[in-house]
Chain A
C-alpha cells in the first residue's frame, strides 16, 4: 500500500462494465457500470432494493454476475468466490458485524488465517501483527481484549482492521454507521480519510445522505437495478441525491403542515432509569404535538421510552397520561392507558417474524376484543388486519404472509399497524425509520403527521438529524440520562442540537 495522492485522471482501479444479474427472472442488476479510482471514497446510494447489495455481492465474490465483466487495474478478473475477492484485495464489511465476540481482538483479526508455529497457534505473532493493523485504524486497544468488552464503534474498527489485514485495496462498507454514535461515526470518518490517504479505495454504502455529502469524492446512484446517475465531489447535494434515488421531485418530502397543539397528553416527571440511575428527566407531550428526542446513542433515550411503556421498571418518577398517574407493572398497564411503543429493534421486539401479518397486527388487541372468557375474535382480527394493510399500503400478497418475508419498510409498517389498530392516545416511536427506504420513510412520516392531526401525542426518538429537525414541533435533547435542553421549532438547528447532545452547554442542575 503506497501513499498515493488522489489523482483524478488516473485509470480506474476497479471497473464494472455492463453487469447484469437475474434471480429467477427478476433483474436485480441491469447493465450496471461502476468505476472506482485509486484512493477515493466512492458512495453507492439508492433505495432498498435498488441493487446496491447485489452489486457489492458481485464484487465480493458472493454472487457471480450473469453478464458483464469486472476489471481490476484494467485487466478482466473473474471473481467467483469470496476467497478470490480477498486475494484480489477486495474486502466487504457487512452491516451486521461478523465478529466472534467471545474471542479477543487479535483472534478475530486472524480468524481462519491463524499463523502457526509447530502446528499450534502463534499467539505472539498474532499480537504483534494485530497491533499494526489496529494502529492503522487508530484503535487504542490491546489485541488481547475480548471483543464483547468493546463498544459497537470500536468493534467496527476491529472489523476494518481485519479487512485491512488481508491487504485490502478496495474496502466495501455497507451502512457502517447504522449503529454508531455520532462521536464514533466521526472517528470512523477520520479513519476512512486516513485510509484514503494511504491509497485504499472505499466503496461506501449508506442511507445517510449527510454522511455521503461529508465523505464521498464521487457518488453512484442506483435505482431499480440500473444506473440512475453519478455525481462528482462538487455536485454532491442532498436534494440532487434524493432526486436521483427516487426519480421524482421530493421538495415536499419533509414539509410539515401547520396544525394546532392541544392539552397535555403525556407528562413525565423526574423519571429515572437504569441507564443513568442518578439523572432524571421531565417533559410533556401535548395532543397533536410531535416531540422529537435527540441525543447520542447511550444518552438513555431508549431506556426512557421502555420505562414509560412499562417494559422495564423505572427507578423513580411519575408518568401521567391525560392527567392520570399510571401504575406501570407491565406493558399492559401502559397500553390500557392509551400508550403504544414502536420499539427500536423491530425484528426482535416489534414483530414475531415467523407469524403472519394478520396475527402480528392482532396480537395486542386480542384481549380487548375477545369473546366470552378468552375466546379469539378472529373476525375482528381479520378486519383489523385488512383495514390496516389498506390504510398503511403494506405491500403483501396476503395477510397470512409471514412477516419475515417482507422488506424492512413493510415490516416497520406492520409494527405501526399493530399499534394503530389499538387507537393509542400517545405514540412512542424509537428510531421509526431505521433501515427503511425513502419511499417507506415518506409514508411513515405521512402517517405520523395524520396521527398528530387526529390529536395523538407523538414522542419520537431519532438519531437522524434531518428527521428530528424536519418532523418535530419541539425537540428535547438528552445527555447522560437527563434532558439537557429543549428547542422550539424556530430555534432548531443541527448545531443547537449537537451542542446540547454533547453536553457542551452548561446544564441546569436537575434532580
Chain B
C-alpha cells in the first residue's frame, strides 16, 4: 500500500510539474492521448508483472507486439483472411508463444532470460522475413475493428468519453487483481516467486503456474500488439514495438514488483506504466528538455525511484529491528 502511494505521489508530482511548465499538457487532446498510451502500455506491463512475480523475465514482449502488430494487418489486407479468422490466429499465436516459453523454462529448465532473449530475436526476425520489411497497414479499411483502439465510450451528460483501450485495461486489470489476490493460483504464483522449492513441497504444481504466467504474458503482449496497431493504423516491422519489453519491465519494477519475485501489485504496475508515459510526454512538451535525451531522463527517474525505495526499505528494517529489540 505504501509503495503504491509512493509511486502515485511520483506520478502526481510529474503531472503537476509538467502542467506548470507547459500549457499544452492539460489540453483535451494531450490528456486523451496520454490515457490511451498509458492504457496500451498498462496492458503489456501487467503481462510482464505476472512473469516477474514468478521471479522470471520476459524480454520478448516488444517482438511479440511487432509480430502481432504486423501480422494482423498483413492477414487482413494482404491475405484477406477475414476478421474472425485473423483474430483467432492472433490469439493462437500469442498463446503458442507464451506456452512454448513456459515449457522451455520449466520442462527444459532453461533460464527465462535466455529463452525470452531468443524469443526477442526470433519473432522480430520472423516478422521481417514474412512481410519482407514492408510497412503493414489497414489502408483506410477496418474502421469498425479499429474502433477498439480509437473509439471511446461517451460519458453521458458530458462531451468527454473514456477511450476504449482504457476500458480494456480496466477489464484486464480487474481480472488480474482478482486472479492474483483472490484465487489460489494467484497465491501460488506469489509463493513460488519467493521460494519455488518450498511451494513445490507444499503440494503445488509450480511448473504449471510458471507456464501459466508466461501464457498470460504472451496473451497480453499479443493483445497489446493488436491494440497498438489498431491505434496507429500501420506497423513497420523494423522498429514496431521495439524496446516495449523494457517499458513494461520498468513499469512493473516502478510499480513495486521485485525482480527477485513474489512481490507486486497490479494497481502499482498500472501507475508505473502511467509514470513512464507521462514522463515521455513531458519531455516532448517541456521546451528546455531536449527530446533526444528522453532515455536518459527515463533511466534516471527509474533509478532514482528504486534507490529511494531501497532506502525506505532499509529505514523500515532498522526501525523493525529496534522495535523487536525493545520488546
Using a CB–CB distance below 8 Å, which chain A residues touch chain B? 23-26, 309, 311, 330-332, 334-336, 341, 343, 348-355, 359, 363-364, 366-367, 370, 374-376, 397, 405, 418
- The CA-CA distance from A343 to B200 in the complex, in Å, is 12
The verdict on A352 contacting B195 (CB below 8 Å), with A25-B326, A331-B200 known, is yes
> Is A376 a contact partner of B203 (Cβ separation < 8 A)?
no
Complex-state Cα separation, A141 to B195, whole angstroms: 36
Most B CB within 10 A of own CB, among A348, A355, A405? A355
In contact, A352 and B191 (Cβ under 8 angstroms): yes
> Do B203 and A332 have beta carbons less than 8 Å apart?
yes
| Residue B8 lies at the interface, judged by CB distance under 8 Å to chain A | no
Q: Residue B198 contacts which of A309, A334, A352, A367 (CB distance < 8 angstroms)?
A: A352
Tell me if A350 and B201 are in contact (CB < 8 A).
Answer: yes
Interface residues of B in 147-194 (CB under 8 A from A): 182-185, 187-188, 190-191, 194
Given A366-B187, A367-B184, A370-B184, verify A352-B199 contact (CB < 8 Å). Answer: yes
Apart from A331-B202, A352-B194, A352-B198, what are 19 other A-B pairs with CB-CB below 8 Å? A24-B326, A311-B201, A330-B200, A330-B205, A331-B203, A343-B201, A348-B195, A349-B197, A349-B198, A350-B198, A350-B201, A351-B195, A351-B198, A354-B195, A359-B191, A363-B187, A364-B202, A367-B184, A397-B327
A390 to B187, CA, bound (A): 24
**For the complex, is B300 an interface residue (Cβ under 8 Å from A)?**
no
List B residues 284-327 near A (Cβ within 8 Å). 320-322, 324-327
Is B87 positioned at the interface, with any CB of A under 8 Å from its CB? no
Cβ-defined contact, A374 with B199, below 8 A: no
By the criterion CB–CB under 8 Å, are A348 and B325 in contact?
Answer: no
Which chain B residues border A25 with CB–CB below 8 Å? 325-326
By beta carbon, the residue of chain B nearest A336 is B203
A330 touches B203 (CB 8 A): yes
Q: Which residues of chain B are near A374, meaning CB under 8 Å?
A: 183-185
Q: Among the listed A23, A348, A376, which residue makes an inter-chain contact with B183, where contact means beta carbons less than 8 Å apart?
A: A376
> 29 A-B residue contacts at CB 8 Å?
A23-B325, A24-B321, A24-B322, A24-B325, A24-B326, A26-B327, A311-B201, A330-B203, A331-B200, A331-B201, A331-B204, A332-B203, A343-B201, A351-B198, A352-B198, A355-B190, A355-B194, A355-B262, A359-B187, A359-B191, A363-B191, A363-B199, A363-B204, A366-B188, A367-B184, A367-B203, A374-B183, A376-B182, A376-B184
In the docked arrangement, what's the CA distance between A335 and B324, Å? Answer: 36
Would you give the shortest CB distance from A53 to chain B, in whole angstroms?
A: 15
Query: Which residues of A are found within 8 Å of B197, using beta-carbon distances?
Result: 348-349
- Which residues of chain A come closer than 8 Å to B185, judged between CB atoms? 374
Q: When chains A and B are docked, how far (Å) is the Cα of A336 from the Cα of B185?
A: 18
Known: A363-B191, A374-B185, A376-B187. A311 touches B325 (CB 8 A): no
User: What 9 A-B pairs come out closest when comparing CB atoms?
Assistant: A24-B325, A335-B203, A366-B184, A363-B202, A374-B183, A331-B203, A364-B202, A332-B203, A352-B195
Which A residues touch B202, using CB under 8 A?
Answer: 331, 363-364, 418
B187 and A341 form a contact (CB under 8 A): no
| Chain A residue contacts of B324, Cβ below 8 A | 405
Can you name the residue of chain B whose Cβ is closest to the Cβ of A345? B197
B195 shortest CB reach to chain A, Å: 4
The reply to whether B325 and A26 contact each other, CB–CB distance below 8 Å, is yes
Chain A residue contacts of B327, Cβ below 8 A = 26, 397
Q: Which of B197, B198, B199, B327 has the most A CB atoms < 10 Å from its CB?
A: B198
A376 vs B183: C-alpha distance in the bound complex, in angstroms?
A: 5
**Complex Cα gap A318–B308 (Å):** 56
Alpha-carbon distance A375/B186, docked complex (angstroms)? 9
Docked Cα-Cα span, A25 to B323, in Å, equals 10
Inter-chain contact B198/A332, CB cutoff 8 Å: no
**Complex: chain A residue closest to B263, CB-CB:** A354
Interface centre among B190, B201, B205 (most CB of A within 10 A): B201
Q: Which A residues are in CB contact (< 8 Å) with B203?
A: 330-332, 334-336, 364, 367
Q: Which residue of B lies closest to A369 (CB)?
A: B184
A353 pairs with B191, CB closer than 8 A: no
Whether A375 and B182, one on each chain, are in contact in the complex, defined by CB atoms closer than 8 angstroms, is yes
Q: Which residues of the other chain, B, contact A397 by a CB distance below 8 angstroms? A: 327
Contacts of A353 in B (CB 8 A): 194-195
B55 to chain A, nearest CB (A): 12
- Which chain B residues border A26 with CB–CB below 8 Å? 325-327
| Nearest-CB residue, chain B, relative to A306 | B201
Please report the C-alpha to C-alpha distance between residue A367 and residue B195 in the assembled complex, in whole angstroms: 19
Determine the distance from Cα of A323 to Cα of B190 in the docked complex, in whole angstroms. Answer: 37
Cα of A349 to Cα of B198 in the assembled complex, Å: 4
Assess whether B199 is in contact with A311, with CB atoms less than 8 Å apart: no
Measured between alpha carbons, how far is A418 from B204 in the docked complex, in Å? 14
Nearest-Cβ distance from residue B222 to partner chain A, whole angstroms: 24
Task: Specify which chain A residues have a CB less than 8 angstroms from the CB of B321 in the assembled complex.
Answer: 24
CB distance from A184 to the nearest CB of B (A): 26
Residues of B within 8 A of A24 (CB): 321-322, 325-326
Instruction: Provide the residues of chain A in CB contact with B200, threshold 8 Å.
Output: 311, 330-331
Q: Give the distance in Å from the alpha carbon of A430 to the alpha carbon of B182 in the complex.
A: 33
Q: B224 CB to closest chain A CB, in angstroms? A: 26
Residue of A nearest to B205 (CB): A330
Q: Which of B183, B184, B321, B325 has the largest count of A CB atoms less than 10 A from its CB?
A: B184
B155 to chain A, nearest CB (A): 33
Specify which chain B residues have a CB less than 8 angstroms from the CB of A359 in the assembled complex. Answer: 187, 191
Q: How far is the CA of A405 from the CA of B321 in the complex (A)?
A: 10
Contact B191 A375 (CB under 8 A): no
Asked if B191 and A332 make an inter-chain contact with CB atoms under 8 angstroms apart, the answer reads no
- Select the residue from A25, A330, A343 with max chain B CB neighbours within 10 A: A330
Contact of B205 among A332, A341, A354, A363 (CB under 8 A): A332
In whole angstroms, how far apart are the Cα atoms of A374 and B181 in the complex?
Answer: 11
Nearest-CB residue, chain A, relative to B188:
A366
**In the bound complex, CA of A350 to CA of B201 (Å):** 7
Shortest C-beta distance, B109 to chain A (Å), equals: 15
Taking CB atoms, residues of chain B closer than 8 Å to A366 are 184, 187-188
Given contacts A24-B326, A354-B262, A376-B187, contact A348 B198 (CB under 8 A): yes
The residue in chain A whose Cβ has the minimal distance to the Cβ of B258 is: A354
Shortest beta-carbon distance from A92 to chain B in Å: 22
